[in-house]
Structure 1
Amino acid sequence: MSFLFQRKPKEGPKVAVIGAPTNVNHDIHVTVNEQGLLTGLPSAWMRQIGTQITKDEQRENPLVVKQVLQFYNFSIKKGNEERPEFKHIITEKDIVEESKLIDLYSLSKDAHKSKDSLSDSEKSSDEQKPSTPVRPPRKIDVTNLVQTKNLAKNLVDLTIVDDIKKEEVEYRDKSSSNTDLSNDDVIRRRSGMTDDDYMLEIRKICNPGDPNQYYERTHKDLGSGASGIVFSATCIKTGELVAIKDIDMTKQHKKDLLLSEIKIMKNFKHKNLVNFLDAFLVNDDHLYVVMELLDGGPLTDVVTETVMKEGQIAAVCYEVLQAINYLHERGTIHRDIKSDNVLLGMNGTVKVTDFGFCANVVGNEQRETMVGTPYWMAPEVVTRQKYGKKVDIWSLGIMIVEMLDGEPPYLREPPLRALYLITANGRPNIIRWSSLSEKLQSFIDFCLQVDVDKRATAKELLQHEFLDEKMELKTLTPLIRAAKKMLHKT
């Protein structure tokens, strides 16, 4: 056990010695010198700019460059510290606390000292991203508008969710001597609960029965990761296919958050969400989380391999908006709306996944843990201005671009430059804009407003006339089958 302060026996008077300063705060003041170069940024950050942000761009938008680098490096720092086994449910309160963390990070020694991990992350991407799943390469054919780029070459894990109980975390003063304490230590000291206490509470809310009496495992594994595996099973009573995540509790270090997530997700039920169905705790070693399973795959397969009609786009938007509105009415922000996180049933059912306990249930964990993937990210996420529920609406607008063009804007750019372009340019150009109907143009306009006050809410968009053009969901089935065939997933 280590102590922050140790009392020493009194000694006789000594000559005062002035030591080196401690807990020095390094504020960041960015300026542009006569050569048009940025000054005032940490050297480790400057090395990252490289050729991704030109000198002209640095001269024109120094504040944007600072914000992007600050956000980008904080994201890397959080991702390197811990890869969460599941995603924390986000509220506007969490966003405020996260913004404080980013500000504190900018003043910390981590932001200013030269770290090999930061510069190397740009130089050796193969070491950083070898196992990130990728979208299948888009086939070049007359029906394909844009070839989708291999995401593994571009994406950096931007997991920025602080998976700590925000309401219990007390942000310490910059000069506080408690900086050696982890947030977990603070929480445990204040809550007084041990791992055994959390396990007892988890046991109370899980189904006490034997999962083998409820579900029969199939031979199909859906994914795997550090915390366990995901496999398909059949409900013995109904014959319904489900996805079950087997979480190895011996590797689960956030049992307090795990408990909170189960409690919340048991109360989240909606036809357009991949719903939590049940949970079993077996021998205190394994937690089995049962979720809905959709057999049509992600919307990504459809947008990259087929061309969607406006009526089909309207149908998908209508279903996704109902899920978003449901979450927003309950004070929850998804924060990662994109085609990868919209799952389809073979009958055309549309469900949003990858929030709360839905994270990682379908697909590879390393892909599913990415929060706020940069290409779908709203400008205010980086600048932290009026950051709230409407970030999901911006992401929906970018997902419409996916459905039109086959990929989001800037996908061919590395993440750091993508963040810069999103922040500096605001609304992206849309390749097929002139060929779109006025109703769809208007719908996109309401989604991709840089001014958050002018951006529509989910409830407002549900009343938009574009959604009156929606086709029946069953019209998605031929597209799903075609995508499966082209991707050899049949």
Structure 2
Amino acid sequence: MGNKQSQQSLSKSNSEIKVFDVKKCISIKRDPITGKLIGVPREWASHLDADQKQIVETNEFPEEVRTHKLPECILEIQNLIQNQKNLKEELKIDQDANLGLKGLNVEIEKEIHNSGVSRNEIAKDTVNFISILEIYDGKELSFKQKINEVTQTEFLIENPAQNYIFNEQIDKGVNCKLYKIIDRRLNKVLAAKVFKFYDNFNCYQLKREITLIQQLECPYVIKYYETYLYSGCFFIIQEYMNFGNLRKLMKIYEKKIEESIIGYILYQIMLALKYLHFKGKIHKHLSSKKVLINDKGDIKLLIMDYKNEFKKDKDPYWIAPEIIEKQIIQETSDIWCLGIIAFELSEQNPPYFNEHPIRVMYNIVNQPAPKINKHRSHIFQDFTQQCLIKNHEKRTSLRDLLKHDFIIQNRERGRQKLIDLFKNVNINQNSKLKKSTSLK
């Protein structure tokens, strides 16, 4: 009886300690003499400048504040460190080393070899090439972003099938699947993007992304509803666009797209960017895969980046030169991405398509800005060139691009032609649409 009471008392005591009360158990300070951190949990000590003699054994803590429930800001530090492990050491220029770089491991050397970038090409600008490897390896890039002080969103720990009917899988990618679903409560068609939870997943960053998106109310931005974490998977519920992304359209429509349609699409993207930039948000990963469309001619941007960082398996075709060279992301970086989308709509593929990612980034930095086909109209060529100015400080602003003749002439009349194009695709190329697996 006594043991039972003591267990109940302990259980009650433990339950009263919430995740956010972790400071009651952990107090990390810096030793004024040695400068090292003291009171660091053992699991994080090897990743931080910690005094190994004064670490904390978290297995002695109540269940609520053990390592798997430590503050997510600490988890984020570990994730960022984990993302950098492929580069064995800090890369340094060393003419005696293989490829002229010291600190390369076997995996990265193999990728460089596969990219076709030669030692002589690396030697021309080794500093920028080091930056390319860091980005390729998953380095977190700096960018300005404003998040108002709101309660951070939490994942729903329950079965989403209780609220949604999962009708059909409509797309799939390397790490995720996209389902068409129906909200049981509202009888509304939505979409669910599903991907597995894996070790070191940056939950903290995902929550920040969702918190920011919840603040956005714009007809040109995909609406987010809620996120479930159930049975080892994330279920992100969002607005449904029945034709998928813009990249899919270009894959299944083999004919040359009319400039009026291109102008309309670009105008809608620019309206979304105008809103985002006004809100202090940079898209950061703008590409044709993040532009969703439906058969009514609506065009909306998908803002959330489910992979959180620029990873090896992400296509670098749209990345701006300043991101590679200076590792900064600015509002004008979105303008470069817009220009690549314009190029893609004109030529069906982005520049350097099918090249190795390292070679793609090398060319973006070292080759002249790409130009669209000369058979396109002069004003379309000029619009694209205004977007694709390599010096981001001289790149044309969004405000000026909205006044460009190409946009003014096509921003309205392209909508109906886009709707007609969808009808043509649905009639003649429906089988290609079903087989498309462009989602990543």
- How far did 1:406 drift? 1.1
- Partner Cα distance (1:56, 1:286) in 2: 46
Matched, 1:488 2:432: yes
Unpaired stretches in structure 1, ≥5 consecutive residues:
9-24, 80-87, 95-164, 166-199
- Partner Cα distance (2:272, 2:142) in 1: 16
Q: Superposition pairs for residues 187-336 of structure 1, below 5 Å?
A: 202=153, 215-220=164-169, 222-223=171-172, 230-236=178-184, 239-246=187-194, 253-279=201-227, 288-304=235-251, 305-336=254-285
* Aligned position for 2:351: 409
Contact 2:262 2:414 in 1 (8 A): no
Which stretch of the first structure deviates more once superposed, 303-312 or 70-79?
Answer: 70-79
* Aligned position for 1:71: 131
- Partner Cα distance (1:209, 1:54) in 2: 52
Matched, 1:92 2:143: yes
- How far did 1:213 drift? 7.0
For residue 307 of structure 1, what is the amino acid of its counterpart?
A: K
For residue 67 of structure 1, what is the amino acid of its counterpart?
A: N
- How far did 1:480 drift? 2.9
Question: Percent identity of the aligned residues?
Answer: 21
* Aligned position for 1:111: none
Contact 2:142 2:327 in 1 (8 A): no
Contact 1:302 1:479 in 2 (8 A): no
- Partner Cα distance (2:301, 2:127) in 1: 34
Q: Superposition pairs for residues 138-157 of structure 1, below 5 Å?
A: none
Residue of 379, 383, 392 corresponding to 1:452: 392
Match of 1:356, SS state, is coil
- Partner Cα distance (1:245, 1:27) in 2: 37
Contact 2:177 2:193 in 1 (8 A): yes
- How far did 1:218 drift? 1.5
- How far did 1:478 drift? 3.2
* Aligned position for 1:378: 320
Residue of 431, 436, 453 corresponding to 2:376: 436
- Partner Cα distance (1:211, 1:27) in 2: 45
Residue of 15, 28, 33 corresponding to 2:92: 28
Q: CA RMSD in A?
A: 4.2
Contact 1:306 1:482 in 2 (8 A): no
Match of 2:237, SS state, is strand
- How far did 1:398 drift? 1.1
Contact 1:306 1:483 in 2 (8 A): no
Contact 1:209 1:280 in 2 (8 A): yes
Query: C-alpha offsets along residues 57-108 of structure 1, whole Å, 9 cap, x if unaligned?
Result: 456xx22x4422x2343244338xxxxxxxx9x87248xxxxxxxxxxxxxx
Query: C-alpha offsets along residues 150-175 of structure 1, whole Å, 9 cap, x if unaligned?
Result: xxxxxxxxxxxxxxx9xxxxxxxxxx
Residue of 314, 330, 333 corresponding to 1:391: 333
Match of 1:259, SS state, is helix
Going from structure 1 to structure 2, the CA distance change for 1:370 and 1:242 (only over 3 Å counts) comes to farther
For residue 294 of structure 1, what is the amino acid of its counterpart?
A: M
Matched, 1:467 2:407: yes
Matched, 1:478 2:420: yes
- Partner Cα distance (1:58, 1:258) in 2: 35
Unpaired stretches in structure 2, ≥5 consecutive residues:
1-41, 55-88, 435-440
* Aligned position for 2:86: none
- Partner Cα distance (2:314, 2:346) in 1: 21
- How far did 1:49 drift? 4.5
Going from structure 1 to structure 2, the CA distance change for 1:285 and 1:300 (only over 3 Å counts) comes to closer
Residue of 361, 368, 373 corresponding to 1:419: 361
Q: Count residues with an aligned counterpart.
A: 342
- How far did 1:268 drift? 1.6
Match of 2:370, SS state, is coil
Going from structure 1 to structure 2, the CA distance change for 1:270 and 1:32 (only over 3 Å counts) comes to farther
Contact 2:371 2:385 in 1 (8 A): no
For residue 433 of structure 2, what is the amino acid of its counterpart?
A: K
- Partner Cα distance (1:340, 1:373) in 2: 10
For residue 320 of structure 2, what is the amino acid of its counterpart?
A: A
Going from structure 1 to structure 2, the CA distance change for 1:306 and 1:277 (only over 3 Å counts) comes to farther
Query: C-alpha offsets along residues 216-256 of structure 1, whole Å, 9 cap, x if unaligned?
Result: 33133544776x75421123465432112456678684443
Match of 1:78, SS state, is coil
Q: TM-score, normalised by structure 2?
A: 0.64
Query: C-alpha offsets along residues 1-35 of structure 1, whole Å, 9 cap, x if unaligned?
Result: 46654559xxxxxxxxxxxxxxxx967246699xx
Match of 1:268, SS state, is coil
Q: Superposition pairs for residues 16-165 of structure 1, below 5 Å?
A: 28-29=92-93, 39-42=100-103, 44=105, 49-50=112-113, 52-54=116-118, 57-58=121-122, 62-63=124-125, 65-68=126-129, 70-78=130-138, 92-93=143-144
Contact 1:297 1:344 in 2 (8 A): yes
- Partner Cα distance (2:432, 2:353) in 1: 24
Which stretch of the first structure deviates more once superposed, 334-343 or 42-51?
Answer: 42-51
* Aligned position for 1:190: none
Matched, 1:343 2:287: no
- How far did 1:385 drift? 6.5
